[in-house]
């Protein structure tokens, strides 16, 4: 009879220890170890190696490459993120918070990919009736979609061999389990083993597979980080719970760029593509309000025009409050210090609130100049022209530094009918194309404030 032993595994990184530890020595996470029983079925030294196939190394120049066969998903924004479509035999991981729309988007994909062969939808969370209700709501009537409500990976593999689908959906990877491992479904060892078996099945049979994964409170895929290393593509579905807009972001793609994003809007009929995001994000802006400015940011290779709103009010308490929604709080604090030191504005006694309209999160520094202009506009109670777009990174000495892809940003502003754009002077000198915009080049924040808030 196989002998069982007990080990302790870190739920955050998968580190194994013979005894319980309060702090993981690999990832420094506290109270992350849980007990797990492991059954040793055979020894690697004493096992029979007669059935193992010997593979000799080959020269890389002698290996013939193969063309990457892609299948369009029928969803333009998703194809954009994937690099043109799903690659045959690839393994794609889709992650996101509960209720963000992962299952809805993938079910729509199953319908739009009609004509490419059978699709096997495996769900460990919902019954067949629940999935059918969602399919009816989304108006999905693809006869090639097969449903399997199962969590045992052995049963799933048998079904795949029987149905021989072109696409397999596993929703979700944390609900699947293998009888060879004694721990519960969703644990580190189970997730690692299930993903490895799905990957071998995917590669051996040439079946495109999409697995849906839960995320932790930190926003990462639940389970060990090796899960993301094993798959070919990792997509995250992001968005604020109280906003309808969703962003599909690629953080790993072996067959394409990791800089692309796709935008959707969650409606009753499902996830609807937003092919012109800039016009949607600034559609509800009022005329010349104080503290409001349009900035041009880059998501992947796509320029987006987004509205920033700032509000400054005298602090009632002795310690002024700073609140940032959609922008890093520390970045806002730094820019407020730049305004006080370099522009001479006394914001030390002001509460400062900053908001990115529509719930979009911005991480790139090219919106620094827009933040400074919005805060200054609110403090002076002077409106900024609704026909102006602000672009520029701001340094600690108050200088406005150059940004990348400036011509793409300007073309997007020109396409949407803006008349004026304030950009770094260094970018203005290197412009090659001609624009109908009135382009203002500035070297520091003082020049920008004088030009815009006269």
pLDDT, mean of residues 50-57? 67
Give yes or no: residues 195 and 334 share one domain. no
- Total domains present in the chain: 3
270: pLDDT strictly greater than 70: yes
Is position 54 within any domain?
no
Give yes or no: residues 237 and 307 share one domain. no
The pLDDT assigned to 49 comes to 47
Give the pLDDT band (50/70/90) at residue 233.
Answer: very high
Give yes or no: residues 107 and 28 share one domain. no
pLDDT, mean of residues 3-12? 74
The pLDDT assigned to 226 comes to 66
Reported as a single tens digit per residue, the pLDDT across 298-347 is 988 889 999 999 999 999 888 899 999 999 999 999 999 999 999 999 89
44: pLDDT strictly greater than 50: no
> What backbone phi and psi angles, to 5 degrees, belong to 24?
-75, 125
Is position 292 within any domain?
yes
Give the residue among 8, 36, 15, 32 at the shortest CA–CA distance from 181: 36
Query: How is residue 333 written in tokens?
Result: 């604090």
Which CB contacts under 8 angstroms, 24+ apart, belong to 256-259? Answer: 256/82, 256/83, 256/84, 257/83, 257/300, 257/301, 259/300, 259/301
The pLDDT assigned to 38 comes to 65
Query: How is residue 1 written in tokens?
Result: 């009879």
Helix H or strand E encompassing 304: strand 302-314
Give yes or no: residues 105 and 141 share one domain. yes
Give yes or no: residues 402 and 448 share one domain. yes
Evaluate whether 228 touches 208 at the Cβ level (below 8 Å).
Answer: no
The CATH code of the domain that includes 180 is 3.40.50.300
Reported as a single tens digit per residue, the pLDDT across 71-88 is 889 899 999 999 889 998
Query: How is residue 254 written in tokens?
Result: 């072996």
Give yes or no: residues 299 and 447 share one domain. yes
286: pLDDT strictly greater than 80: no
Model pTM score:
0.78
Length in residues, the chain: 454
Give yes or no: residues 427 and 409 share one domain. yes
Which of 225, 240, 275 corresponds to the end of one domain?
275
Q: Which residues contact 104 (CB under 8 A, 6 or more apart)?
A: 134, 138, 266, 270, 271
Is position 134 within any domain?
yes
Q: Which residues contact 79 (CB under 8 A, 6 or more apart)?
A: 72, 73, 85
Is position 304 within any domain?
yes
Evaluate whether 306 touches 282 at the Cβ level (below 8 Å).
Answer: yes
Give the residue among 141, 130, 210 at the shortest CA–CA distance from 171: 210
Q: Domain residues for 348?
A: 280-452
Give yes or no: residues 256 and 375 share one domain. no
The pLDDT assigned to 421 comes to 96
Is position 63 within any domain?
no
Give yes or no: residues 176 and 190 share one domain. yes
Give yes or no: residues 143 and 192 share one domain. yes
């Amino acid at each position: 009879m196989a002998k069982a032993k007990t080990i302790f595994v870190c739920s955050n990184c998968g580190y194994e220890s013979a005894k319980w530890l309060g702090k993981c020595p690999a990832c420094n996470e506290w109270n992350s170890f849980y007990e797990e029983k492991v059954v040793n079925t055979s020894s690697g030294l004493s096992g029979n190696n007669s059935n193992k196939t010997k593979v000799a190394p080959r020269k890389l120049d002698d290996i013939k490459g193969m063309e990457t066969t892609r299948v369009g998903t029928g969803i333009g924004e998703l194809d954009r993120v994937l690099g043109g479509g799903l690659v045959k035999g690839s393994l794609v991981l889709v992650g996101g918070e509960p209720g963000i729309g992962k299952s809805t988007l993938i079910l729509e994909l199953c319908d739009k990919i009609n004509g490419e062969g059978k699709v096997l939808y495996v769900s460990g969370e919902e019954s067949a009736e629940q999935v059918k209700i969602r399919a009816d709501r989304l108006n999905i009537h693809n006869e090639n979609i097969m449903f399997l409500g199962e969590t045992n990976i052995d049963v799933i593999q048998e079904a795949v061999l029987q149905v021989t689908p072109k696409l397999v959906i596993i929703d979700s990877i944390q609900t699947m389990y293998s009888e060879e491992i004694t721990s519960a479904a969703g644990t580190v060892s189970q997730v690692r083993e299930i993903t490895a078996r799905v990957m071998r099945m995917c590669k051996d049979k040439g079946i495109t597979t999409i697995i849906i994964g839960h995320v932790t409170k930190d926003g990462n895929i639940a389970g060990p980080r090796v899960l993301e290393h094993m798959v070919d593509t990792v997509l995250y579905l992001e968005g604020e719970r109280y906003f309808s807009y969703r962003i599909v972001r690629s953080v790993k793609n072996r067959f394409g760029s990791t800089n692309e994003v796709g935008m959707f809007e969650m409606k009753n009929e499902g996830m609807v593509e937003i092919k012109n995001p800039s016009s949607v994000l600034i559609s509800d802006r009022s005329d010349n309000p104080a503290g409001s400015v349009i900035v041009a940011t880059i998501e992947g290779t796509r320029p987006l025009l987004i509205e920033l709103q700032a509000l400054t009010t005298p602090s009632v308490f002795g310690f002024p409050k700073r609140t940032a929604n959609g922008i890093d709080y520390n970045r806002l604090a730094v820019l407020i210090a730049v305004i006080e030191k370099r522009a001479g504005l006394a914001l030390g006694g002001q509460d400062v609130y900053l908001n990115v309209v529509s719930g979009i999160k911005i991480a790139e520094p090219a919106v620094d100049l827009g933040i400074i202009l919005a805060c200054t506009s609110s403090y002076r109670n002077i409106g900024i022209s609704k026909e102006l777009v602000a672009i520029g990174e701001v340094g600690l000495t108050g200088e406005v530094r150059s940004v990348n892809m400036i011509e793409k940003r300007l073309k997007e502003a020109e396409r949407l009918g803006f008349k004026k754009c304030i950009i770094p002077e260094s970018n203005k000198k290197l412009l090659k194309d001609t624009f109908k915009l009135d382009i203002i080049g500035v070297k520091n924040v003082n020049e920008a404030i004088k030009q815009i808030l006269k």
